[in-house]
Amino acid sequence: MERNIKSYIFIIAIAITVYELNLWPPRLKTPPLVLMLIYQAVMGMIITNAAYVVVWERIDYMCCLLCFYCAAGIQELNEYLGLDFINDVANWLESECACDMLSTLVSIIILLWLLVATDTTCHIVRFTTWLSEKIQQLMQYKRRVHFRPENQVSYCVLQNIPPPRRRNTDRS
């Protein structure tokens, strides 16, 4: 099965969970930082690939089966009740688009659930508020550009910083 956006969303969710875990056994002496980073990267790749093969492919298959069984049930209900407008829904559920939409929705739900479970959302909110405060502080400074005659250098003066003073080179 090829990887697409829905599987990458699931892989990101698993990678966030693996990042929150301490993969090194606590009884062993911790190695140097470089070896620890290499170990965690390799273990993270192994775990995410295993989660993709073992978990995500089954979830994707179940989403497609759910769409097909719902379409068959709607068609039987349509034949029993004689309603023609439900037939369009059943035809859409049999399409590949419905299967892709359902599995994408499931992967987004898993991502959000794991973000909340690992408290990553709190870190993201803290980072975005910190970043917005820094951007607002930078936006408070107004830049003015002064162009001097040709013999003087042009420079940019920030609001709270005075222009550089010229040294007095006259020693008379």
pLDDT tens string 156-172: 444 445 555 666 665 55
Question: Of all helices (H) and strands (E), which one includes residue 5?
Answer: helix 5-20
Q: Which pLDDT score, from 0 to 100, does residue 147 have?
A: 53
Confidence of residue 68 (pLDDT cuts 50, 70, 90): very high
Q: What is the mean pLDDT of residues 81-103?
A: 85
Amino acid 170: pLDDT: 59
Q: What is the pLDDT of residue 164?
A: 58
Query: Cα separation of 120 and 169, whole Å?
Result: 60
- Secondary element (H or E) of residue 71: helix 57-81
Q: Which two tokens stand for residue 163?
A: 């222009």
Whether residue 61 has pLDDT greater than 60: yes
Q: What is the average per-residue pLDDT within 23-32?
A: 81
Residue 53 CA to residue 124 CA, distance in Å, equals 29
Q: Please tell me the distance from the alpha carbon of residue 172 to that of residue 157, in angstroms, as a whole number.
A: 31
